[in-house]
Amino acid sequence: MRVVVLGTAAGGGFPQWNCACRLCAAGRAGSADVPARTQDCLAVSAGDGWYLVNASPDIRAQVLAADVLAPGPGPRDTPLRGALLTDAELDHTMGLLMLREGGGLRVFAPRAVLSALEPVRDTVARYGSWTWSSTVDIPGLAVTTFAVSDKKPRYAAGSTASGPWVVAYRITDPATGGALVYAPCLRSWLDGFDEFVDGAAGVLLDGTFYSPAEMSGTGTSTAAQRAMGHVPIDGPDGSLVRIAKHSGIRWCYTHLNNTNPVLDRRSPEYAVVRDAGVEVPLDGTAFEV
């Protein structure tokens, strides 16, 4: 299975367009130690086309930057076959609208997510033949899900659809036995998640916040940050402690918020993460599982 990490930032990307914090200012100035990042998105393939995991608003730039996603050999041929959605958040779904010129894709997502996306589904249906399913069926790959939370996006707050609203994916190549886990949104280290990642070759994990109170300097309370549904990297309940219990897995942080100090490769927080053997991959990182 081939994997390309198309984007690694949280909603809004990095630097965020409406933010003048120290990190965003450094990123905007072009610092090599604080590289720009697009919103998190992944592409996977077992040889029969490519499938996105989430479809970010930055999808056009991400596709253009990935040689393996280039169109051809026909003038309108594309290797993109479909997308898996971890949730219904705008930063994970708006890219579907940007892909309307493709004539249609296969989209897989939890039932609640499909329900929330009905306006998007109605819109893109006017441009091509799209299919939507809560049961993942990708040629050459086996996919299982892990329910992460029932956190609804703001625009779907009134929805009565039953969850889960957020999932993680474990994608396995039966030909090699290699497995990749993609979990960009993880409210907490839930019971059963250790077993879900066990034996995986790699895990792309929620790295939104470094500390539990990271956004307090922006006027956001610790409780409000926690309600956003992202386990912090640091602290007694953070993901770094849990990662240490697993060996033989390539761990990577993704979905980095613009407040996260690991965005700066000169920071002590970045050093802590790297010393723990965890990667902070750049957009465009590619590997095989």
Beta-sheet strands, E only, within the chain: 2-7, 41-47, 49-53, 80-84, 106-108, 131-133, 142-149, 166-172, 179-183, 202-206, 250-254, 285-288
CA distance 209 to 259: 7
- State the pLDDT at residue 235: 93
Residue 222 gets which letter from DSSP?
H
At position 168, the amino acid (one-letter code) is: A
Would you write out the chain's pLDDT as a tens digit for each of its 289 residues?
Answer: 999 999 999 999 999 999 999 999 999 999 999 999 999 999 999 998 999 999 999 999 999 999 999 999 999 999 999 999 999 999 999 999 999 999 999 999 999 999 999 999 999 999 999 999 999 999 999 999 999 999 999 999 999 999 899 999 999 999 999 999 999 999 999 999 999 999 999 999 999 999 988 877 776 666 666 777 799 999 999 999 999 999 999 999 999 999 999 999 999 999 999 999 999 999 999 999 9
Which of these, 97, 102, 98, lies nearest to 129 by C-alpha position? 102
CA distance 127 to 121: 10
Answer for the pair 124, 100: CB distance below 8 angstroms, yes or no: yes
Q: How many CB atoms lie within 10 A of CB 281?
A: 16
Residue 141 gets which letter from DSSP?
B
CA distance 116 to 36: 31
- Predicted structure pTM score: 0.95
The tokens describing 283, both together, are 């957009």
Answer for the pair 59, 29: CB distance below 8 angstroms, yes or no: no
The tokens describing 272, both together, are 């802590």
CA distance 198 to 194: 6
Sheet of strand 202-206: strand arrangement: 142-149, 166-172, 179-183, 202-206, 250-254
DSSP for 229-268, written as a single string: ----SSSTTSHHHHHTT--S-EEEEESB-TT-GGGSTTSH
Buried b (16+ CB within 10 A) or exposed e, 1-10: bebbbbbbbb
Question: What separation in angstroms does the CA of 241 have from each of 18, 154, 156?
Answer: 33, 31, 33
Answer for the pair 152, 86: CB distance below 8 angstroms, yes or no: no
Q: Which domains does the chain have, with CATH numbers?
A: 2-281 (3.60.15.10)
Answer for the pair 232, 240: CB distance below 8 angstroms, yes or no: no
Which of these, 287, 171, 275, lies nearest to 233 by C-alpha position? 275
Sheet of strand 80-84: strand arrangement: 131-133, 106-108, 80-84, 49-53, 41-47, 2-7, 285-288
